Amino acid sequence: MAGPWPVVLSLHGGGGNGGAHQRYTRMDALADRERFVVAYPNGTGRFGNRLLTWNAGGCCGLAKQRGVDDVAFLRAVAGDLASRLTIDQTRIYATGLSNGAMMAYRLAQDASDLVAAIAPVAGASVVDEVAPARPVPILHIHSVDDPRALYDGGLGPPFPLTNVRILHPAVEEMLARWRRAEGCPDSPRADAALRGGPGNAHTATRTTWGPCRDGSEVVLWKLTGAGHVWPGGQPDYLTRVLGPGTDVIDANREMWQFFKRFSRTP
């Protein structure tokens, strides 16, 4: 295979696994067209590849309880890819859903020498400290109607079949912490507003802060009507748990357009 290849580390949500996340997000078709590699690693669990989680700092599950070093694990995943393919070490990106989104933020904090940019979906940063060694561009996608990772913060509902609840930070306050750490301007620009087609009341508004320090940027796609979902992913997926899906934006396309603008200085 020719290269070097950009890499996207795509991290499943809490209770999921890499294979299910791959099928749900449907990023492979875009990767084939745009010529980048996607990896769908598995987190930690007790039951094979079921009910897996990431230790994202303040969350979640067995990975957090055991203090699993998922930063080191994901570094090893990138290293394994590099041993098999010619990858572009300056263009490794991270995304994820829910607990996977939280883990992407932890990589931005603790492995800014690895990831060139991140694109968390429906999950906020739960690291204790926001002081990355270098500014990491962020594209955050979240619905105000998310029934699980609450946009305005607070205790989410119990995980299915458990009594475990997670305290979620308010998305906009969380992003403000990252903007301060990355030296972003106070004044944003609202540069896109979309509505769903006929019979679809979902909306999406994009707000951008930048340029931040070293040319970084923070972007928020704020959705309405959608649930705890990957926009543009497999439709009608676990709607009783996650709420309604949406195609008001295509998360894969938006994050790749964002990612390919950034590379990490070696």
What's the rounded Cα separation, in Å, for the pair 218 and 168?
Answer: 20
| pLDDT at residue 96, rounded to an integer | 98
Q: How far apart are CA 41 and CA 71, in angstroms?
A: 12
| CA-to-CA separations, 122 to 33, 98, 194, in angstroms, rounded | 26, 5, 18
pLDDT in tens, 213-254: 999 999 999 999 999 999 999 998 999 999 999 999 999 999
Looking only at the bridges linking them, the beta strands covering 138-143 and 117-121 are parallel
Q: Return d(Cα 185, Cα 73) in angstroms, integer.
A: 34
Confidence band of 68 (pLDDT split at 50, 70, 90): very high
Three-state helix/strand/coil letters over 134-169: CCCCEEEEEECCCCCCCCCCEECCCCCCCCCCCEEC
Q: With H, G, I as helix, E, B as strand and everything else as coil, classify residue 253.
A: helix
- For 5-259, CATH gives 3.40.50.1820
The tens digit of pLDDT for each residue in 76-102 reads 999 999 999 999 999 999 999 999 999
Domain boundaries, the chain: 5-259
CB 57 within 8 A of CB 104: no
Cα–Cα dist 85/15, whole Å: 30
What per-residue string of b and e applies to 160-171 under the rule 16 or more CB within 10 Å gives b?
Answer: eeeeeebebbeb
Burial of 266: CB neighbours in 10 Å, binned 0-12, 13-18, 19+: exposed
pLDDT tens-digit map of 24-48:
999 999 999 999 999 999 999 988 8
pTM of the full predicted structure?
A: 0.96
Average pLDDT, the chain: 94
